[in-house]
Amino acid sequence: MQKTKRFSLGRIFLFIGKLLLSAVIFSVLLVAIYTVMHPPITPLMLLRPIEGIFSGEFVGIDRDWKNYEDISPHIFRAVIASEDGKFMKHDGFDWKAIERAKRINAMRKGKRLIGASTISMQTSKNVFLWPGRNYVRKALEAYFTVLIEAIWGKRRILEIYVNSIEWGSGVYGVEAAAQKYFDKSAADLTKQEAALLASVLPNPRKWSPAKPSPYIRKRARSIQGRMGGVAIPK
């Protein structure tokens, strides 16, 4: 009886080990594939239409992939200035920002928490994971962040980021956003337009870069002022 029990536990642990190893191999292969293949869809793109069904609103998927060299450098500088000023220097995690967020959030009991996600972390979440703040998702986000930093590099991370993020209801990626809000290609975005697009990223379904509120105009001016000193991948 005892031997049978030990044997059963051994088989269970062996199965779990094989399952975890398979998951690691699959995730590494998927990240490697995305170095040359564009991610066709993200979990958020699938989730939004489902949310729309329950709210009685049709939500489509408007996305048009553009390669790095076919996108205005202004948008890369704008999102870095807005979202992650140390993007070119860190290894995927801004540890000082994380510690600062922990200290501030510890004092903001019951209030809206602030985040410290880098562009690399946001790309990991957008491409591979689901929205949320639970510990499992955050752990997976950290795991994928390490992978994409090691396998993709900064240029590919930035390219996938601006092609995948949500820029309005059903609007994904900078080309769809540029066409919707400014009636032009992402290659032709001006410095001001890029700053306006970056300024709405904290809440792109609430704010519009085409009809900016005074708050968004102020954010855009601040972002635009920082863009000149931002380095981007070649």
Output the tens digit of pLDDT for each of the chain's 234 residues. Answer: 445 555 588 788 888 989 999 999 999 999 999 999 999 999 999 999 999 999 898 999 999 999 999 999 999 999 999 999 999 999 999 988 888 877 777 776 656 556 679 999 999 999 999 887 788 999 999 999 999 999 999 999 999 999 999 999 999 999 999 999 999 999 999 999 999 999 999 999 999 999 999 999 999 999 999 999 999 999
Place of tokens 């209801």: 169
- Can you read off the two tokens belonging to residue 1? 């009886």
CB of 50 within 8 A of CB of 42?
no
**Phi, psi (degrees; rounded to nearest 5) at 121:** -65, -40
State both tokens at 170.
Answer: 């059903």
